[in-house]
Structure 1
């Protein structure tokens, strides 16, 4: 994004992602107002919370306004929580909403630049903005940053990858949406050393999409 220096590992073809990030940065507060409370998704947050240890070290990628963090920290207040997002306005909101956690501006694919190891990684609706190749790179990178037995929470919009496209809001703002198939994701996770603990599909009538939620453990 203009005026913001962040590490990027994307190279050619970054434009779709940059456009999506710019849109989320612009609409951060509207996104917060709409998604901070999401009863449809809370059963998946609850399942993750049950699996976490009281003082686990957690990394969240594409944290948005901190909605998942707030749910988890309300139930596990002693978590050592680091949230990251490439949209600075999202990071600012996440800090406001979760004063006991740490939040930083970071490209999710810069995860390899981190030196810490984590007990859990949360990656909520980051994959819809990553190509298949980028998603595969991210899955492998997340596996390398998890301790043995570490947890991964992953959510995305499920669908035919060939149907990936730009979506335009009523205000004219755009984001490029990549659809990912659950069968493909499961295979990639298995190849990266994960075993699936749960897989949940949830219709999202407003978009006409199916959302996919996966919780996995590093073998």
Structure 2
């Protein structure tokens, strides 16, 4: 296939590579990260503040486990977006009541409506820092004023570095916790709470990583 020229081509080309990487990973993701305690806790924090029927956007939903499942079981209306068709197929099987769409976070717009809450658990770390800032503004744009947002990243000072993730080539970005807080606040969110946990993947010999969870509210503007 010939890729047409234009300013978005580098992003489109990388997204295709990234999508193929996660197509290859598929269900092995949940095998490598089976518990996700911090992610579940962040979801519980949000659910306690939401009414049944609230609209929740899961950015980079992956297999739908545990986050989309968690919100669906709480009676929320869940929409998940991802760029991997294989991950989306798994999410549809795991969360039959959810809506799962192949979409880039940078392409979010008002066509999906307004959401009461959004999550982005370990999905934005696959973007360069400049695009993470764009993604946060895009998420801010689809949240209702006062809407909730929970974000997780790995604590490391990197920007768009090649990395082998479960045998697939990707590029990763990280922040130190103070930097991450500044980026989130600059996008129009108020940070309500933070959590930092040590987590070791189950199927690799990699040392434990520090996972950062930031729970926020969209400012009233």
Equivalent residue number for residue 104 of structure 1 = 101
Seen in structure 2, the aligned counterparts of structure 1 residues 10 and 50 have a Cα distance that, compared at 3 Å, is: farther
Q: Does 1:166 align with 2:165?
A: no
C-alpha contact (below 8 Å) 1:151/1:215 kept by paired residues: yes
1:195 and 1:114 mapped to 2: Cα distance? 25
**TM score, norm. by length of structure 1:** 0.85
Counterparts of residues 45-194 of structure 1 (less than 5 Å): 45-67=43-65, 68-74=67-73, 76-77=74-75, 79-112=76-109, 114-161=111-158, 165-168=161-164, 171=167, 173-194=168-189
Q: Distance in 2 between matches of 1:41 and 1:125?
A: 9
CA contact (8 A) 2:18 2:170 kept: yes
Matched length: 211
* Cα deviation code 1:16-58 (max 9, x no counterpart): 4433321111111211334454335322222122122221111
Q: Deviations over 1:154-206 (max 9, x none)?
A: 111111125x53222574x2121111232222222222221111111111234
The 8 Å contact of residues 118 and 145 in structure 1, kept in 2 or not, is answered as yes
SS in 2 for 1:12: helix
Give the superposition deviation at 1:119: 0.6
Q: Give me the whole-angstrom Cα distance separating, in 2, the residues matched to 1:176 and 1:106.
A: 19
Deviation digits for residues 82-128 of structure 1 (CA, Å, limit 9, x no counterpart): 11110001000100000111111111111136351111111111121
SS in 2 for 1:156: strand
| TM-score of the pair, normalised by structure 2 | 0.85
How far 1:11 sits from its partner (Å)?
Answer: 3.6
Tell me which moved more, 15-24 or 64-73: 15-24
Residues 158 and 172, structure 2, Cα contact 8 Å, conserved in 1? no
Aligned to 1:27: 25
RMSD: 2.6
Structure 1 runs not aligned, ≥5 long:
3-8
Q: Report the Cα distance in structure 2 between the residues aligned to 1:146 and 1:113, rounded to whole angstroms.
A: 10
